[in-house]
Amino acid sequence: MVRKIDKDKARFDQIIRGRIKKDLKKYITGREMIGRKGRNIISIPVPQIDLPRFHYGDNQKSGVGQGEGEQGTPVQGDDGQGAAGDQPGQHILEVEVTLEELAKILGEELELPNIKPKGKSRIMAASGRYSGIRRIGPESLRHFKRTYRQALKRQISMGDYDIDNPIIVPINDDKRYRSWTERQNPDNNAVIIYMMDVSGSMGREQKEVVRLEAFWIDTWLRSQYKNLERRFIVHDAAAKEVDEHTFFHIRESGGTKISSALVLCNQLIEEKFLPYEWNIYPFHFSDGDNWSGRDTEKCIDVLKDNLLPVCNVFCYGQVKSAYGSGQFKRDLDKVFNDDERVISSDIPDRDAIMDSIKDFLGKGK
Amino acid sequence: MSIEAEIRRIQVEVEGYAREYGLDFFETIFEILEFDELNEVAAYGGFPTRYPHWRFGMEYNQLAKGYAYGLQKIYEMVINNDPCYAYLLKCNHLVDQKIVIAHVYGHCDFFKNNCWFSKTDRKMMDNMANHGTRIRQFAERFGQETVENFVDCCLSLDNLIDPHAPFIQRGESASSRDDGGDREVMKLRAKGYMDRYINPIEHIQKEREKLKKDKARKMRFPSREQKDVLLFLLYYAPLSRWQQEILSIMREEAYYFSPQMQTKIMNEGWASYWHSTIMTEKILRDSEVVDYADHHSGTLGTRPGRLNPYKIGIELFRDIEDRWNRGRFGKEWEDCDDLYEKHTWDKHLGLGREKIFEVRRTHNDVTFIDNFMTPEFMEAQKLFVYQFNPRTGQHEIASRDTRKVKESILYSLTNFGQPYIYVNNGNFRNRGELLLEHKWTGLELQTDHAADTMRNLQVIWKRPVHIVTVLGGKQVILSYDGKEFKKSDVSRAEKEETPTAAETTQ
C-alpha cells in the first residue's frame, strides 16, 4: 500500500528536482548543510523549502543563550524555532561522520553507482572496521564506557551501589567489547588531475564552487580507490603544475588557452602515471571563454588522440562567471555528443554542485 | 507479556500517580507506532488524516533522514484534543516509555487547563480530517496544482493572525458604528454673555477637529486597523467559494496551533517537571536510574546558541515552587536588603505546589517569563544575550546583564518574534488597493521575502497591494501591482492617511 506521506514526499522531491512548480525552487535552502565543518565533521544535506513570509532579516537578530563564556565569545548560530505548533519531544545529537560514511551518504543520496575500475588489477583487499559491540573479545578491545555502564546498572539493581563510596567493579558478565566487520575494498590506484582556468574572469566565488565540487569528488573517489593521488594544474594562456593550496588561491589574469592545460596534463600522465597501472580522472573547470576557435580545435585533437584513450573519463565543468558562460562546453558537446568518455556539466552556482557531481560520477566510470 | 500489554500496565500506573498529584486531563489514548509511522504522523503535525501537501513530505524527509543517520529521534507526540492522542515509539526502551507516558500526562493536563488553550477546538482530530477531505475534493475538481498553489499562498500569510482575538471583542460594536453623522460639539450651558468664557472658542475648535477626525476614521475601511489579516481577506477579498474555504481552513489551523507556540516553554517545562517528579518519586526502579538520567539529561541539555524550552521551563517551575514554599516573594522579601537574611529566608509556607498549578492555568510564555524570571534565576542559569557582530561575521555573547537578557527573551516571544502587521486600509488611494502597515519596532523586514509574500497577497486580493514599513531609517511604501514592485516614499497626504508608528494608540 502506498502511504499517504509517500505521495507528499514524492511531490516534494519533484519540486526539489525542479520538475514541477519551478517558482518554488528559489526558496530551497540547505546550502550550509553541505560542506565540511571543522575536521571531517559534516552535517547531512537536507533540502528545505521556506515559503516566504513577512519576517525580520536574520543578521539583525539577537537572542538569548545559555552557558559559559565571556563577553565576545562566539556563539554557534542556531536559530531554528522548530516546526510550528507540534510538540515532538526530540533531541538532537551531534554525530561525527567519517569521510567514509560521508561518501556512503553521498552515494545513497545521489544514487551513485560503484565504479568499475579498468585494467586487470582488480585485487580486493580486506579491511576491518569497528561497528558493534559484543560480549566476548580480547581485553585490548574492551569498551570502557559500555562496561562501566553495565556494571553500574548491575550494582544499582543489586543494591551494591554505595553513594558515599561509588566504586564500580565490573565482573566478567559486564564486560563489553568492540566488534568489527570486514569489508572488501578494491585495491586500486587512481589519480585525479584537476585543471582550472585562472584567467581574469574567474572570481573568488567561482573558485569556491570548484573547491566544493573538488571536495566531493575527492570524497567519493577515495571511497572507491584505495590509493588516490591528486595533481593540480592551473592555466591562463599558459599552464603550470601547482600544489593544492596554490590551486585554490592563485589569482592570475589574462587570456584563456585551454589547450595549454590539456597538453600539460597529457605530459604528466606520460611521465608519471602509466595508464595500465592507474585509473586516470582529469577534471577541468573553466568559465568556458576560450581564446579562439583554433585553440578549441587543438583541445579536441589532444583529447581525441592523447587523453581519452588513457583516461577513465574526462570531465569538464563549466562555472558561470560575472561575464557569463562561454562557448567551450557547447563545442565539446557537439564533438563528443555520443562519446561516453567525455562528460560535461554546467555549474552555475553552489546549489548546482550536487547535480553536477551526479553528472560526473553517475555513470560509474 | 507483550510490549503492548506491558506499556498498558505502565500507563495505568502512571495515570494513577498523575491523578494523585492533582493533574487533570482528558482521557488519553496511546498509540504505539513503528519509527516510520511515527515520523509520518509527526510530519503531519500529529494528524494522520491531514490534507495533502508537499511540506509534510519535506518534514517527513527531514525526520526520516535524521532518524536513519542517528541524528535525532522523536520520543513522543501529544495532540491537544478531547480525547488526547499520544503516540509512542515502539522500539523505545521500557524506561523511556515510562518517562514519555509521564511526560504526556503533563502535556494533557496543560492542554486542558491552561487558559490560552481554552478556546481551541477540542475536536480537532475530526476537524482536520474534514479539512483533508475538503481539500482533496477541491484538488480533484480543480486540479492538484491549482489547489496546492493556492494553499501555498495562504501558508505564506498564515502568520498574519491575531492570537489574542479569541479572548477579546475587537472592532466596532453597533453603537460605535452608526454615530458621528452630523453630531455637533457639545457645549456647556451658559448665559449668552458668559458663553465665550465657559465654552472658549479654541476649545470648541479643538473638539470640532477631533470630531472630524473621528468621522474620517469611521469612514475608513476598516474603521480601525485589523491584525487578523487573514480574516479581513476572508471577508473582503474577491475569492471563489473553494478558495474562501481553503483560506478559512488555513486560518483555523493557524489559530489552533497558535497557543502551542505561545506556551512552548511553559508546556514543555510543565511536562518535564511532571515526568521528573513522577519518575523519581514513584515509578523509577533502581535498575533504571542510569538510563533515566541519560534520557533526562539529553532532553534538558543546553547549547550556547539556543534556549532549550524544556530546561528553562522546568527550572522556572521549580524555582517558583521553591520560592513559594519558602515565602520568598512579596513586599517584605523585595524590600529586604540584608544578604544573609535573604540567603536563609524560609517561612515554611509550603505554597509551592499550589502556586505552580495556578501559574500553569493563567500564564503564557510572555507573562510567565516576565513575572517569574528573577535576576538570581538568570544568573544561576547562566543566561546571556548574543548579537551579530558584523565585523567578525558571527554571533557573539554581548551581555549578561539580567535586564537585557529578560528584555531580549520577552522581545523574541512577543508576537512570536515576528513583525506586527496590520490591515491599515482596504480602499487605499480610493482605488480598492490594500495597504498593510508594519509597526516599526526597530527591526527591518527581509525585503526579498517580503516582496514574494506580497506577490502571494496580490494573488488573493487581485488589486495592487502595499505595505508601509521602514527601510534604512526612512518610512517607505512597498507596492506590488501584479506586474512590478515599487518602492516609494510616503507622501504627505498618505502620511495623514496612515497613522505612523509613532502615534499609534493601543
Chain A nearest CA to B360, separation (Å): 17
A38 burial class (0-12, 13-18, 19+ CB within 10 angstroms)?
exposed
B121 burial class (0-12, 13-18, 19+ CB within 10 angstroms)?
middle
Which residue of chain B comes nearest to A70, CA vs CA? B397
SS3 call for B339: helix
Q: What's the predicted TM-score (pTM) here?
A: 0.71
The CA distance from A14 to B61, in Å, is: 13
- The single-letter code of the amino acid at A54 is F
* Contact map slice: B 82-101 vs A, CB within 8 A: 100
Rounded to 5°, the CA angle B63-B64-B68 comes to: 120
Sheet-wide strand order for A189-197: A239-242, A227-235, A189-197, A279-286, A314-319, A342-347
CB contact (8 A) between residue B394 and residue A77: yes
HSE, CB side, 13 Å, CA atoms: give it for residue A44: 26
Q: What is the pLDDT along chain B (506 residues), one digit of tens a residue?
A: 678 888 999 999 999 999 999 999 999 999 999 988 999 999 999 999 999 999 999 889 888 877 776 667 788 899 999 999 999 998 888 899 999 999 999 999 999 999 999 999 999 999 999 999 999 999 999 999 899 999 999 999 999 999 888 888 765 554 444 554 566 777 788 787 888 888 888 888 888 888 887 777 777 778 788 899 999 999 999 999 999 999 999 999 999 999 999 999 999 999 999 999 999 999 998 888 998 998 898 888 887 777 899 999 999 999 999 999 999 998 888 888 888 888 889 989 999 999 999 999 999 999 999 999 999 999 999 999 988 787 877 778 888 999 999 998 998 888 888 899 999 989 888 889 999 999 988 888 888 889 999 999 999 999 999 999 998 888 999 999 989 998 888 876 566 555 544 343 33
Residue ranges per structural domain of chain B: 3-114+263-295, 300-413, 419-503
Map grid coordinates 551579530 to a residue: B388
Residue ranges per structural domain of chain A: 125-184, 189-361
CA distances A283 to A251, A266, A313, Å, are 19, 13, 9
The CA distance from B186 to A10, in Å, is: 69
Determine contact, residues B82/B123, Cβ cutoff 8 Å. yes
Partners of A70 on chain B (C-beta within 8 Å) are 397
Domain spanning A189-361: which CATH class is it, in words?
A: alpha beta
Phi, psi of B375 (to 5 degrees): -55, -40
Partners of B308 on chain A (C-beta within 8 Å) are 66
- The single-letter code of the amino acid at B9 is R
Among residues A48, A53, A52, the alpha carbon closest in space to that of A13 is found at: A48
CB contact (8 A) between residue B43 and residue A93: no
Question: Pick from A74, A84, A85: which is nearest to B396 by CB?
Answer: A74
Q: Does ipTM come in above 0.90?
A: no
**Pairing mode, strands A48-49 and A28-29:** antiparallel
A200-240 pLDDT per residue, tens: 777 777 887 888 888 888 878 877 777 788 899 988 888 88
CA distances A174 to A142, A286, B93, B293, B490, Å, are 11, 60, 19, 20, 76
What is the number of CB-based contacts under 8 A between chain A and chain B? 275
CB contact (8 A) between residue B74 and residue A92: no
Q: How far is CA B75 from the centre of its chain?
A: 23
